[in-house]
Amino acid sequence: MIVPGTSLLPDALLGVAYLLILFYLFLGIAVVADIFMESIEFITSKVTLIEFTDSDGKIQTVEKPVWNPTIANLTLMALGSSAPEILLSIVDVVTKIEETPSELGPQTIVGSAAFNMLVISAVSIMSVTEVKKIYDVGTFIVTSIAATWAYIWFFMVLVVISPGVVQLWEAILTLAFFLILVLLAYAADRHNAKSINKEEAKATLRRGVSKTGLRTLANKYGNFAILEAA
């Protein structure tokens, strides 16, 4: 609520004051989102120790992530990066249960998704000078098709099927599309894992064993002792 008499102040002063308030709110959102992302990264970094017998008959121990990277990126990481927009949309809907929600929430989510897909992808590629390679082409194709279909589906819902209104069955179907995306992406990820060259898989496994051994020693004797020994 604007304080009475505020409109009598000079426009330049009001502009500066509103800009400072906006920066303050952005800083608060950045702090909360950073804490949220750190929590999600901590959850997805969980590993479990698995023992196996190598070609020489020795029992080795290797770390295996609890979370599949593809599933974690499509669910937890996506939730963390889009938390401000999702919360904004939820608050807007909850505070206007019996009214028509404003367009701020949906526009923020759609705009953020477009920014992430176009601008951030381009900046990430341009900021690295070495040759880039898509490791999992199948998962990339699945997510690219899903991202494109999302905009087509929103247009059909809001313009073609039920102009200006989102019906219950449309919302349920939209959620089902997300579940289908996760399942297809996971299937593509597993297919890519099976098609990896065996020699490359062995090299990755050897690195995993060495990494696990170093981590075990570091947990037992401390990081400084391991660095000093190295």
The residue whose two tokens read 């597993």 is: 190
Residue 207 predicted with pLDDT over 90? no
With respect to residue 7, please indicate whether it lies within any of the assigned structural domains: no
With respect to residue 148, please indicate whether it lies within any of the assigned structural domains: yes
How much is the pLDDT for 180? 93
The residue whose two tokens read 């969980």 is: 46
How many structural domains is the chain composed of? 1
Residue 199 predicted with pLDDT over 60? no
| pTM of this structure | 0.66
More confident residue, 180 or 205: 180
More confident residue, 141 or 5: 141
**Cβ-proximal residues to 85 (8 Å cutoff; 6+ apart), any chain:** 105, 108, 109, 112
* pLDDT classification of 25: cutoffs 50, 70, 90: confident
* pLDDT tens per residue, range 182-195: 999 999 888 887 76
How much is the pLDDT for 183? 92
Measured CA to CA, the distance from residue 10 to residue 17 in angstroms comes to 11
Residue 202 predicted with pLDDT over 80? no
Rounded to the nearest integer, the mean pLDDT of the chain is 77
**Which structural domain range is residue 146 located in?**
48-229
Residues 61, 213 contacting (CB under 8 angstroms): yes
How much is the pLDDT for 226? 63
Measured CA to CA, the distance from residue 110 to residue 44 in angstroms comes to 26
How much is the pLDDT for 82? 76
More confident residue, 152 or 107: 152
User: How distant, in Å, are the alpha carbons of 1, 94, 158 from that of 99?
Assistant: 21, 10, 18
Average pLDDT, stretch 101-127? 76
Residue 59 predicted with pLDDT over 80? no
With respect to residue 24, please indicate whether it lies within any of the assigned structural domains: no
DSSP 39-81: HHHHHHT-EEEEEEE-TTS-EEEEEEESS-HHHHIIIIIHHHH
Range name among 27-31, 56-60, 72-76, 176-180 with the lowest pLDDT average: 56-60
Give the percent of the chain with pLDDT over 70.
Answer: 74
With respect to residue 128, please indicate whether it lies within any of the assigned structural domains: yes
With respect to residue 62, please indicate whether it lies within any of the assigned structural domains: yes
3-state secondary structure 22-48: HHHHHHHHHHHHHHHHHHHHHHHCCEE
Give backbone dihedrals phi and psi of 228, rounded to 5 degrees, phi first.
Answer: -65, -40
The enclosing H or E element of 11 equals helix 11-44
Measured CA to CA, the distance from residue 82 to residue 117 in angstroms comes to 13
With respect to residue 6, please indicate whether it lies within any of the assigned structural domains: no
With respect to residue 25, please indicate whether it lies within any of the assigned structural domains: no
With respect to residue 167, please indicate whether it lies within any of the assigned structural domains: yes
Average pLDDT, stretch 94-112? 74
Residue 32 predicted with pLDDT over 60? yes
* pLDDT classification of 134: cutoffs 50, 70, 90: confident
